[in-house]
Amino acid sequence: MGSTRGIYRVEGMSCASCAGSIQTMLSAQEGITLANVNLASEQVMVEYDSSVITLDQIIKTVDSLGFKLITRDLSLEEENDMATVRLKKLRMNTILSATFSIPVVLIAMVFHHIPYGNLIMLALTIPVLAWFGREFFIIAWKRMLHLEANMDTLVALGTGSAFLFSAFNSLYPEFLVKRGFTPHVYFEAATVIVTFILLGRYFEEKAKRKTSEAIKKLMGLGVKTARVIRNGEEKEMLISKIVKGDILLIRPGEKIPADGRVVEGFSAIDESMITGESIPVNKWPGEPVIGATINQTGSLKVMAEKVGSETMLAQIIRLVQEAQGSKAPIQQLADKIAAVFVPVVIGIALLTFIAWSVWQPVSGTPFAFIAAVTVLVIACPCALGLATPTALMVGLGKAAQNGILVKDAQSLEMFCKTTAIVLDKTGTVTIGRPQVTDVIWDPETENLVSASGLDIPGAVVAIESMSEHPFAQALVNFFSSKQVKKEGDSSHKDAGEGVVTGFESVTGKGVMAWIDGDQYHIGSRSYITVSGCTVPEVFAQEETRLKQQARSVVCVSRNSSVVALVALADTVKPGSANAVARLQKMGLQVHLLSGDSVAITAHIAAEAGIGFFKAESTPGEKSAYVSRLKEQGFVVAMVGDGINDSPALAMADIGIAMGTGTDIAIESAQITLIKGDLEKLVTALKLSHATVKTIRQNLFWAFFYNIVTIPVAAGVLYPFTGFMLNPMLAGAAMAFSSVSVVSNSLRLRSRRLD
């Protein structure tokens, strides 16, 4: 037993107070430590102690409020089917409600003198309220049993009161006539309000489906079947049957079924759906591949290393769902208001009724009644409840599509407040591994070949392929493209296949080996000279120059004579300098931290355009540096990729990990850049600004709508202008206010972030 976290679908929510009631009720249950309800995604994220409270008890708690909790995992097809059925049902109820409402409106407005007109309207109104709009009354009743109210309560009170008042006047008109009042009926208000609200919910549901398209696209990226080689036999099986260690066969054009490593073949992989990068990535044996990415050119055999919920795609989906289910601080105000909004509105409606009953003695009760009903109808807090979660769903989904993972909504909101960015050097600003930057040749020996057909670059490749030093791989990668074959030599298949003998490695110094009678030394100058090799003066001068540029220098000698100098460095990533410039243009102060020497750190800082840097920093010093910036009043975002960055990532207001880094760094961060590209940092920052701006716009219009319309509905303009808001128009305005908020959030999908 112990702590359990789950994300479950909730059916039946219609407004902010619905979500608030579920959250309040669940949070009050013993054993539940966290409950976040998202109205836009219709989901609840619950963290509970399974030894104290069971999932069945949680289901019953939600059910008692009039909602349904779906706890089983739904496939993409099931999600779509449920949404389609729900949308179809809403559409049908709206059409039928309108069909019954239209004749009611015509009789009330045009043909009100026809015989038995009131009774005909009564008969037509009953199915609208009792069947097409029955959910309003069912949920309102269940909420009343808990002494709570929501938007359905407002609708039920407003339409129910209008119907009962009208039905009484239709069946017993003489009651008001004897007292000097005209027995007005408001069947058209009750039917049209229900119709407009159903229509608004239909459009709202269609719009809300678009806000979750990003997560649905992610869910749809996976494959259903895979070709698996077991015991030498190829079989096609369901993806759920794959186990770690299986060999998967992927043909050109097919998606990779699971995370793993190439064991045979070569191909270019389109990883854009995971990383957001459009350029295919070449994969050789030993290279990792990500499930759901597309194999483009060659056939591959891949050993499955992560399957099911362990794959990167599954983790991304889970992180996005959890982030969408979390709440931003900006939403707390809306939640607090929504919690008390409905009772306040009911109070305002009662005061409106009393006030007009006293001040309008001629019209009396009917006038007061209409004003109270209009207040109840127009005050629905739907827009208020949708303002934040719809924008967050679109923003977080767009981030995931761009290769940016955000752990929670609070991080997305906080990120836009950042005033200082602290960048780790290695692996963040730089590539993170040594690259060959310069080669100085002795022109007389560069293309000399040995008896085996190897030129000097080929000899370097053959020898360094046997070394595990970080420089060795850089030399192999660089010189592999420089090899030449002795013209006319057919005895040797490929350059680089000469036989290496007598290989010796001196840790931290260099290597020595023989190829067909030629002795090679590759290493530092001190190692070369101790080995008896001569270094020409021109090479000594070049070495000094390269070291002044913070380069590491490797000497290559053949038969005791140095024939080449190779400079290596951890170079700045192609997009880093541009990203830094864009961050600075946005008003952020950029800092660089590194454990490397002052010379190397200063050189990288200059190359990347960073004015503030600190070299030779330990993990503790990095954390202290971030702490000092915070004490100076900066809102600090720290970007890193290594274990040594974890303390600083945790100390920062916002920790950002490069997806190419360690798991510990990623766990310590609130935002992860999957591709490890600093330009994605700019994208994330712009998206944060755009999302928070959209939330503020939504909240402004939601508050503005209620602040302006409730007094108008109560009749404050009537004494001055004679204008009294019709309940039918109130229903239409309320319904479409929600649609406008969702539509504004959807604009984020087309927002340019470059």
Strands (DSSP E) found in 292-417: 294-295, 300-306, 404-406
The whole-angstrom separation of Cα 752 and Cα 754 is: 6
Q: What proportions of the chain, in percent to the nearest 5, are helix, strand and coil?
A: 50, 20, 30
Spatial contact of 670 and 650, defined as CB atoms under 8 Å apart: no
Q: Which of 672, 750, 214 is nearest to 403 (CA)?
A: 672
Give the single-character DSSP code of 521. E
Residues 6+ apart with CB under 8 A from 610: 423, 429, 580, 590, 591, 592
The whole-angstrom separation of Cα 47 and Cα 64 is: 20
Half-sphere exposure of 239 (CA within 13 A, CB side): 18
Query: Known catalytic residue: 270?
Result: no
The whole-angstrom separation of Cα 400 and Cα 31 is: 33
- 3 state DSSP class of 24: helix
Spatial contact of 706 and 170, defined as CB atoms under 8 Å apart: no
Residues 6+ apart with CB under 8 A from 727: 158, 162, 186, 189, 192, 193, 370, 373, 374, 377
The whole-angstrom separation of Cα 246 and Cα 248 is: 6
Indicate the pairing of strand 3-11 with strand 43-49. Answer: antiparallel
Q: Which of 429, 434, 398, 430 is nearest to 638 (CA)?
A: 429
- DSSP code string of 255-284: BP-SEEEEEEE-EEEE-HHHH---S-EEE-
Spatial contact of 712 and 720, defined as CB atoms under 8 Å apart: no
Q: Specify the DSSP element, H or E, that contains 117.
A: helix 117-127
User: Partners of 259 in the beta sheet?
Assistant: 306
Spatial contact of 557 and 563, defined as CB atoms under 8 Å apart: yes
The whole-angstrom separation of Cα 240 and Cα 377 is: 50
List the alpha helices (DSSP H) in 632-726.
Answer: 646-651, 663-668, 679-714, 718-721
- DSSP code string of 452-486: TSBBHHHHHHHHHTT--SHHHHHHHHHHGGG--B-
Query: Which among 152, 335, 424, 570 is annotated as catalytic?
Result: 424
- DSSP code string of 233-261: EEEEEEGGG--TT-EEEE-TTPBP-SEEE
Residues 6+ apart with CB under 8 A from 115: none
Spatial contact of 583 and 611, defined as CB atoms under 8 Å apart: no
- DSSP code string of 404-424: EEES-HHHHHHHTT--EEEEE
Residues 6+ apart with CB under 8 A from 483: 454, 455, 457, 458, 461, 495, 496
The whole-angstrom separation of Cα 682 and Cα 673 is: 11
State the sign of the Cα–Cα–Cα–Cα dihedral 661, 664, 668, 672: positive
Indicate the pairing of strand 500-506 with strand 636-640. Answer: unpaired
Spatial contact of 558 and 536, defined as CB atoms under 8 Å apart: no
The whole-angstrom separation of Cα 213 and Cα 399 is: 13
What angle do helix axes 151-171 and 365-378 make, rounded to 10 degrees?
A: 150
Spatial contact of 47 and 5, defined as CB atoms under 8 Å apart: yes
Residues annotated as catalytic are 424
